[in-house]
Protein backbone atom coordinates (compact mmCIF):
# COMPACT_ATOMS: atom_id res chain seq x y z
CA UNK A 1 0.00 0.00 0.00
CA UNK A 2 1.32 3.45 -0.84
CA UNK A 3 1.80 5.96 1.95
CA UNK A 4 -0.52 8.40 0.22
CA UNK A 5 -3.43 6.03 -0.34
CA UNK A 6 -6.91 7.17 0.77
CA UNK A 7 -8.48 5.94 4.00
CA UNK A 8 -7.65 6.51 7.64
CA UNK A 9 -4.21 7.96 8.39
CA UNK A 10 -3.89 5.85 11.54
CA UNK A 11 -5.45 2.42 12.02
CA UNK A 12 -5.21 0.49 15.26
CA UNK A 13 -7.00 -2.83 15.39
CA UNK A 14 -7.09 -5.38 18.23
CA UNK A 15 -3.92 -4.00 19.86
CA UNK A 16 -2.51 -5.91 22.86
CA UNK A 17 0.59 -5.14 24.90
CA UNK A 18 1.76 -6.64 28.21
CA UNK A 19 4.69 -5.82 30.45
CA UNK A 20 5.95 -8.71 32.57
CA UNK A 21 2.71 -10.66 32.13
CA UNK A 22 0.48 -7.68 32.97
CA UNK A 23 -1.76 -6.59 30.09
CA UNK A 24 -1.75 -2.79 29.82
CA UNK A 25 -3.31 -2.48 26.35
CA UNK A 26 -6.18 -4.91 26.03
CA UNK A 27 -7.71 -5.04 22.56
CA UNK A 28 -7.68 -1.37 21.55
CA UNK A 29 -9.09 -0.44 18.11
CA UNK A 30 -9.62 2.97 16.52
CA UNK A 31 -8.98 4.85 13.29
CA UNK A 32 -7.92 8.46 12.80
CA UNK A 33 -9.15 10.19 9.64
CA UNK A 34 -7.09 12.70 7.69
CA UNK A 35 -7.45 16.22 9.09
CA UNK A 36 -8.84 15.17 12.47
CA UNK A 37 -7.70 16.11 15.92
CA UNK A 38 -8.20 12.74 17.59
CA UNK A 39 -7.93 12.58 21.37
CA UNK A 40 -6.76 9.67 23.51
CA UNK A 41 -8.06 10.42 26.98
CA UNK A 42 -7.83 8.38 30.14
CA UNK A 43 -6.71 8.24 33.76
CA UNK A 44 -3.06 7.72 34.75
CA UNK A 45 -1.75 4.32 33.79
CA UNK A 46 -4.67 3.61 31.43
CA UNK A 47 -2.35 2.60 28.57
CA UNK A 48 -2.50 5.79 26.48
CA UNK A 49 1.25 6.27 26.01
CA UNK A 50 1.84 2.58 25.32
CA UNK A 51 -0.87 2.72 22.63
CA UNK A 52 0.61 5.77 20.87
CA UNK A 53 4.15 4.38 21.21
CA UNK A 54 2.93 1.36 19.22
CA UNK A 55 1.63 3.83 16.61
CA UNK A 56 5.03 5.54 16.58
CA UNK A 57 6.81 2.20 16.18
CA UNK A 58 8.66 2.68 19.47
CA UNK A 59 7.02 -0.42 20.94
CA UNK A 60 6.20 -3.70 19.22
CA UNK A 61 2.62 -4.87 19.83
CA UNK A 62 2.12 -8.37 21.27
CA UNK A 63 -0.88 -8.72 18.94
CA UNK A 64 -2.99 -6.58 16.66
CA UNK A 65 -2.47 -4.43 13.62
CA UNK A 66 -1.20 -0.85 13.49
CA UNK A 67 -0.88 1.16 10.28
CA UNK A 68 0.20 4.75 9.70
CA UNK A 69 -0.64 5.93 6.18
CA UNK A 70 -0.86 2.23 5.32
CA UNK A 71 2.62 1.46 6.68
CA UNK A 72 3.66 -0.84 9.51
CA UNK A 73 5.37 1.39 12.14
CA UNK A 74 7.76 -1.39 13.24
CA UNK A 75 8.58 -3.17 9.96
CA UNK A 76 8.62 0.05 7.91
CA UNK A 77 9.89 2.39 10.59
CA UNK A 78 12.01 4.59 8.30
CA UNK A 79 9.12 5.23 5.93
CA UNK A 80 6.77 5.90 8.84
CA UNK A 81 9.09 8.55 10.27
CA UNK A 82 8.59 10.49 7.00
CA UNK A 83 4.84 10.80 7.55
CA UNK A 84 4.65 10.81 11.35
CA UNK A 85 5.93 13.63 13.56
CA UNK A 86 6.63 12.73 17.17
CA UNK A 87 6.86 15.15 20.07
CA UNK A 88 10.07 14.79 22.03
CA UNK A 89 10.12 14.38 25.76
CA UNK A 90 11.79 17.11 27.83
CA UNK A 91 14.80 14.90 28.63
CA UNK A 92 15.62 14.38 24.96
CA UNK A 93 16.98 17.90 24.35
CA UNK A 94 20.27 19.07 25.75
CA UNK A 95 20.00 22.03 28.10
CA UNK A 96 22.71 24.01 26.30
CA UNK A 97 21.31 23.65 22.79
CA UNK A 98 19.87 26.91 21.44
CA UNK A 99 16.51 27.04 19.68
CA UNK A 100 18.27 27.65 16.33
CA UNK A 101 20.67 24.71 16.90
CA UNK A 102 17.79 22.40 17.82
CA UNK A 103 15.84 23.41 14.70
CA UNK A 104 18.92 22.97 12.47
CA UNK A 105 19.84 19.66 14.07
CA UNK A 106 16.37 18.18 13.60
CA UNK A 107 16.21 19.56 10.06
CA UNK A 108 19.39 17.60 9.30
CA UNK A 109 17.69 14.38 10.53
CA UNK A 110 14.59 14.78 8.34
CA UNK A 111 14.61 13.33 4.80
CA UNK A 112 12.19 16.01 3.52
CA UNK A 113 12.41 18.83 6.04
CA UNK A 114 10.10 21.83 6.13
CA UNK A 115 11.90 25.21 6.17
CA UNK A 116 12.34 25.84 9.90
CA UNK A 117 12.32 29.67 9.61
CA UNK A 118 8.61 30.18 8.79
CA UNK A 119 7.82 27.37 11.25
CA UNK A 120 9.73 29.20 14.01
CA UNK A 121 7.94 32.41 13.10
CA UNK A 122 4.52 30.75 13.13
CA UNK A 123 5.23 29.28 16.54
CA UNK A 124 6.51 32.58 17.96
CA UNK A 125 10.09 31.29 18.36
CA UNK A 126 11.80 33.71 15.96
CA UNK A 127 12.77 36.05 18.80
CA UNK A 128 14.20 33.16 20.83
CA UNK A 129 16.54 31.57 18.28
CA UNK A 130 19.67 32.29 20.35
CA UNK A 131 18.15 31.17 23.67
CA UNK A 132 19.37 27.94 25.23
CA UNK A 133 16.73 25.23 25.82
CA UNK A 134 17.19 25.38 29.61
CA UNK A 135 16.38 29.11 29.63
CA UNK A 136 13.06 28.81 27.79
CA UNK A 137 9.76 29.09 29.68
CA UNK A 138 7.48 26.03 29.84
CA UNK A 139 5.29 27.42 27.04
CA UNK A 140 8.31 28.20 24.84
CA UNK A 141 9.68 24.68 25.34
CA UNK A 142 6.33 23.23 24.27
CA UNK A 143 6.33 25.47 21.18
CA UNK A 144 9.80 24.21 20.31
CA UNK A 145 8.61 20.60 20.73
CA UNK A 146 5.74 21.31 18.33
CA UNK A 147 8.18 22.88 15.85
CA UNK A 148 10.51 19.86 16.06
CA UNK A 149 7.58 17.48 15.61
CA UNK A 150 6.57 19.39 12.45
CA UNK A 151 10.02 19.81 10.98
CA UNK A 152 9.84 16.63 8.91
CA UNK A 153 6.68 18.01 7.21
CA UNK A 154 4.54 15.11 8.53
CA UNK A 155 0.96 14.13 7.62
CA UNK A 156 0.22 13.23 11.21
CA UNK A 157 1.71 14.41 14.45
CA UNK A 158 1.52 12.72 17.87
CA UNK A 159 1.41 15.09 20.86
CA UNK A 160 1.55 13.37 24.26
CA UNK A 161 0.61 15.41 27.37
CA UNK A 162 1.85 18.52 25.65
CA UNK A 163 0.30 21.01 28.05
CA UNK A 164 1.10 19.25 31.35
CA UNK A 165 2.86 21.67 33.68
CA UNK A 166 1.86 24.79 31.74
CA UNK A 167 0.03 27.71 33.35
CA UNK A 168 -3.53 28.32 32.07
CA UNK A 169 -2.48 31.08 29.64
CA UNK A 170 0.37 29.06 28.11
CA UNK A 171 -2.00 26.08 27.87
CA UNK A 172 -4.56 28.15 25.96
CA UNK A 173 -1.85 29.51 23.65
CA UNK A 174 -0.73 25.93 22.98
CA UNK A 175 -4.33 24.94 22.13
CA UNK A 176 -4.42 27.70 19.55
CA UNK A 177 -1.17 26.36 18.07
CA UNK A 178 -2.61 22.85 17.86
CA UNK A 179 -5.65 24.25 16.02
CA UNK A 180 -3.28 26.08 13.67
CA UNK A 181 -1.35 22.85 13.04
CA UNK A 182 -4.58 21.11 12.03
CA UNK A 183 -5.62 24.08 9.90
CA UNK A 184 -2.34 23.68 8.00
CA UNK A 185 -3.48 20.17 6.99
CA UNK A 186 -1.71 18.00 9.57
CA UNK A 187 -3.70 15.30 11.38
CA UNK A 188 -3.21 15.40 15.16
CA UNK A 189 -3.22 12.46 17.58
CA UNK A 190 -3.42 14.08 21.00
CA UNK A 191 -2.86 12.24 24.29
CA UNK A 192 -4.21 14.15 27.25
CA UNK A 193 -5.82 13.83 30.63
CA UNK A 194 -7.22 17.37 30.58
CA UNK A 195 -10.95 17.22 29.89
CA UNK A 196 -11.22 20.87 28.93
CA UNK A 197 -8.42 20.42 26.43
CA UNK A 198 -10.04 17.35 24.88
CA UNK A 199 -13.47 18.99 24.77
CA UNK A 200 -12.16 22.17 23.19
CA UNK A 201 -9.79 20.62 20.61
CA UNK A 202 -10.78 17.12 19.63
CA UNK A 203 -13.14 16.09 16.86
CA UNK A 204 -13.37 12.60 18.34
CA UNK A 205 -12.06 11.07 21.53
CA UNK A 206 -11.20 7.51 22.53
CA UNK A 207 -11.61 7.19 26.30
CA UNK A 208 -9.16 4.52 27.45
CA UNK A 209 -9.54 2.94 30.86
CA UNK A 210 -7.52 -0.04 32.11
CA UNK A 211 -6.19 -0.75 28.64
CA UNK A 212 -9.59 -0.82 26.95
CA UNK A 213 -11.65 1.66 25.00
CA UNK A 214 -14.47 2.66 27.34
CA UNK A 215 -16.07 4.90 24.68
CA UNK A 216 -15.23 6.50 21.35
CA UNK A 217 -17.26 9.45 20.13
CA UNK A 218 -17.31 13.20 19.57
CA UNK A 219 -17.02 15.24 22.80
CA UNK A 220 -20.75 16.08 22.59
CA UNK A 221 -21.58 12.44 21.84
CA UNK A 222 -19.65 11.28 24.92
CA UNK A 223 -21.46 13.83 27.07
CA UNK A 224 -24.88 12.85 25.70
CA UNK A 225 -24.35 9.13 25.97
CA UNK A 226 -23.15 9.06 29.57
CA UNK A 227 -23.79 11.96 31.85
CA UNK A 228 -26.94 13.44 30.32
CA UNK A 229 -26.91 16.86 28.72
CA UNK A 230 -27.79 18.98 31.76
CA UNK A 231 -26.50 19.04 35.31
CA UNK A 232 -28.61 20.43 38.16
CA UNK A 233 -27.20 20.91 41.63
CA UNK A 234 -28.67 22.34 44.83
CA UNK A 235 -28.78 21.95 48.59
CA UNK A 236 -32.34 20.93 49.53
CA UNK A 237 -33.85 22.44 52.70
CA UNK A 238 -35.15 18.92 53.58
CA UNK A 239 -34.04 15.50 52.32
CA UNK A 240 -35.66 14.15 49.16
CA UNK A 241 -36.38 10.42 49.13
CA UNK A 242 -34.39 8.17 46.80
CA UNK A 243 -37.50 6.66 45.18
CA UNK A 244 -38.78 10.05 44.10
CA UNK A 245 -35.35 10.92 42.64
CA UNK A 246 -34.97 7.56 40.89
CA UNK A 247 -38.37 8.06 39.22
CA UNK A 248 -37.35 11.37 37.58
CA UNK A 249 -37.70 11.22 33.77
CA UNK A 250 -34.45 11.26 31.76
CA UNK A 251 -32.27 10.96 34.87
CA UNK A 252 -28.68 9.84 34.09
CA UNK A 253 -27.04 10.08 37.52
CA UNK A 254 -27.53 11.32 41.10
CA UNK A 255 -24.77 12.11 43.58
CA UNK A 256 -24.96 13.40 47.17
CA UNK A 257 -22.07 15.28 48.72
CA UNK A 258 -22.09 17.28 51.96
CA UNK A 259 -25.87 17.73 51.79
CA UNK A 260 -25.71 18.87 48.16
CA UNK A 261 -27.51 16.98 45.42
CA UNK A 262 -26.21 16.83 41.85
CA UNK A 263 -28.40 15.31 39.17
CA UNK A 264 -27.66 14.93 35.50
CA UNK A 265 -30.23 14.31 32.82
CA UNK A 266 -32.31 16.20 30.30
CA UNK A 267 -34.37 19.40 30.33
CA UNK A 268 -37.31 17.17 31.25
CA UNK A 269 -35.40 16.05 34.36
CA UNK A 270 -34.93 19.70 35.37
CA UNK A 271 -38.67 20.42 34.98
CA UNK A 272 -39.56 17.33 37.00
CA UNK A 273 -37.13 18.25 39.82
CA UNK A 274 -38.60 21.74 40.07
CA UNK A 275 -42.12 20.30 40.19
CA UNK A 276 -41.05 17.78 42.85
CA UNK A 277 -39.50 20.52 44.98
CA UNK A 278 -42.62 22.69 44.73
CA UNK A 279 -44.88 19.77 45.58
CA UNK A 280 -42.79 18.82 48.63
CA UNK A 281 -42.36 22.50 49.64
CA UNK A 282 -38.62 21.98 49.68
CA UNK A 283 -36.40 24.99 48.94
CA UNK A 284 -33.39 24.49 46.65
CA UNK A 285 -30.52 26.57 48.02
CA UNK A 286 -27.79 27.71 45.60
CA UNK A 287 -29.53 26.12 42.65
CA UNK A 288 -27.30 25.81 39.57
CA UNK A 289 -28.22 24.44 36.17
CA UNK A 290 -25.31 23.92 33.77
CA UNK A 291 -24.56 22.02 30.58
CA UNK A 292 -22.81 18.72 31.29
CA UNK A 293 -19.09 18.77 30.50
CA UNK A 294 -16.70 16.10 29.37
CA UNK A 295 -15.59 15.92 33.02
CA UNK A 296 -19.00 14.55 33.99
CA UNK A 297 -18.95 12.09 31.09
CA UNK A 298 -15.38 10.99 31.83
CA UNK A 299 -16.11 10.24 35.48
CA UNK A 300 -19.19 8.34 34.48
CA UNK A 301 -17.39 6.34 31.78
CA UNK A 302 -14.32 5.48 33.83
CA UNK A 303 -16.03 5.02 37.21
CA UNK A 304 -18.38 2.35 35.90
CA UNK A 305 -15.41 0.09 35.16
CA UNK A 306 -13.70 0.63 38.55
CA UNK A 307 -13.50 -2.75 40.31
N1 LIG B 1 8.39 -0.30 29.97
C2 LIG B 1 7.49 -0.63 30.87
N3 LIG B 1 7.66 -1.70 31.68
C4 LIG B 1 6.74 -2.07 32.59
N5 LIG B 1 5.56 -1.42 32.79
C6 LIG B 1 5.32 -0.35 32.03
C7 LIG B 1 6.27 0.11 31.03
N8 LIG B 1 5.73 1.20 30.42
C9 LIG B 1 4.52 1.42 31.00
N10 LIG B 1 4.27 0.50 31.96
C11 LIG B 1 3.05 0.39 32.77
O12 LIG B 1 1.96 0.20 31.89
C13 LIG B 1 0.81 0.89 32.36
C14 LIG B 1 0.31 1.81 31.28
O15 LIG B 1 1.28 2.86 31.10
P16 LIG B 1 1.09 4.04 30.05
O17 LIG B 1 2.27 4.94 30.21
O18 LIG B 1 0.79 3.47 28.72
O19 LIG B 1 -0.23 4.73 30.63
P20 LIG B 1 -0.78 6.18 30.41
O21 LIG B 1 -2.25 6.02 30.23
O22 LIG B 1 -0.03 6.87 29.33
O23 LIG B 1 -0.50 6.85 31.81
P24 LIG B 1 -0.05 8.35 32.23
O25 LIG B 1 -1.26 9.22 31.96
O26 LIG B 1 0.21 8.19 33.69
O27 LIG B 1 1.14 8.69 31.41
C28 LIG B 1 1.23 1.62 33.62
O29 LIG B 1 0.80 0.85 34.72
C30 LIG B 1 2.73 1.66 33.53
O31 LIG B 1 3.31 1.64 34.82
Walk me through the domains of the chain, giving residue ranges and CATH numbers: 10-223 (3.40.50.300), 228-291 (3.30.70.250)
Q: How far apart are CA 114 and CA 233, in angstroms?
A: 52
Those residues whose C-beta lies under 8 Å from the C-beta of residue 125, and which sit 6 or more positions away, are 99, 103, 140, 143, 144, 147
pLDDT confidence of 227, banded at 50, 70, 90? low
Please check the confidence at residue 229 and state whether its pLDDT lies above 80. no
pLDDT confidence of 3, banded at 50, 70, 90? very low
Binding site membership of 42 for ligand 1 (Cβ less than 6 Å): yes
Q: How far is the CA of 188 from the centre of ligand 1 (A)?
A: 22
Enclosing H/E stretch for 40: strand 37-41
Q: Closest residue (by CA) to atom 25 of ligand 1? A: 44
C-beta separation of 2 from 26 below 8 A: no
Q: State the pLDDT at residue 142.
A: 86
Q: How far apart are CA 286 and CA 281, in angstroms?
A: 16
Return the HEC string of 232-244: EEEEECCCCCHHH
Those residues whose C-beta lies under 8 Å from the C-beta of residue 192, and which sit 6 or more positions away, are 39, 40, 41, 161, 162, 163, 198
Please check the confidence at residue 304 and state whether its pLDDT lies above 90. no
Please check the confidence at residue 4 and state whether its pLDDT lies above 50. no
Distance of alpha carbon 47 from its chain centroid, rounded?
A: 13
Per-residue CA distances from 246 to 243, 251, 263 (Å): 5, 7, 10
Q: Percent of the chain at pLDDT above 90?
A: 54
Q: How far apart are CA 210 and CA 204, in angstroms?
A: 20
Binding site membership of 89 for ligand 1 (Cβ less than 6 Å): no
Q: How far apart are CA 56 and CA 65, in angstroms?
A: 13
Lowest mean pLDDT among 155-159, 205-209, 219-223, 285-289: 219-223
pLDDT digits (tens, 9 = 90+) for 11-63: 999 999 999 999 999 999 999 999 999 999 988 889 999 999 999 999 999 99
For residue 256, the 8-state DSSP code is E
Nearest to 138 by CA among 116, 121, 163: 163
Q: How far apart are CA 167 and CA 262, in angstroms?
A: 30
Q: How far is the CA of 49 from the centre of ligand 1 (A)?
A: 7
pLDDT digits (tens, 9 = 90+) for 83-141: 999 887 666 788 899 999 999 999 998 888 888 998 898 888 999 999 999 999 888 88
How does the average pLDDT of the chain come out, rounded?
Answer: 88
Please check the confidence at residue 307 and state whether its pLDDT lies above 50. no
Q: How far apart are CA 304 and CA 212, in angstroms?
A: 13
Q: How far apart are CA 88 and CA 263, in angstroms?
A: 42
Q: How far apart are CA 178 and CA 170, in angstroms?
A: 12
pLDDT confidence of 165, banded at 50, 70, 90? confident
Binding site membership of 46 for ligand 1 (Cβ less than 6 Å): yes
Binding site membership of 264 for ligand 1 (Cβ less than 6 Å): no
C-beta separation of 31 from 20 below 8 A: no
Tell me the ipTM for this assembly. 0.95
Q: State the pLDDT at residue 127.
A: 93
pLDDT digits (tens, 9 = 90+) for 170-210: 788 888 888 988 998 999 999 988 888 898 999 999 999 99
Amino acid sequence: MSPTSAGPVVEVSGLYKSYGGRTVVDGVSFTVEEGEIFGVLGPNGAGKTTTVECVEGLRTPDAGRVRVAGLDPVAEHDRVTRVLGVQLQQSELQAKLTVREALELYTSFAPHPADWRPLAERLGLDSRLGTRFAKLSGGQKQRLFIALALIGDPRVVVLDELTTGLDPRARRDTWQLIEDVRASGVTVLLVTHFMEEAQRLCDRIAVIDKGRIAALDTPQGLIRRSAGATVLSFTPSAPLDEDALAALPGLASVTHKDGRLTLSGTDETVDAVLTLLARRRVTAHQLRVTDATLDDAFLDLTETSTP
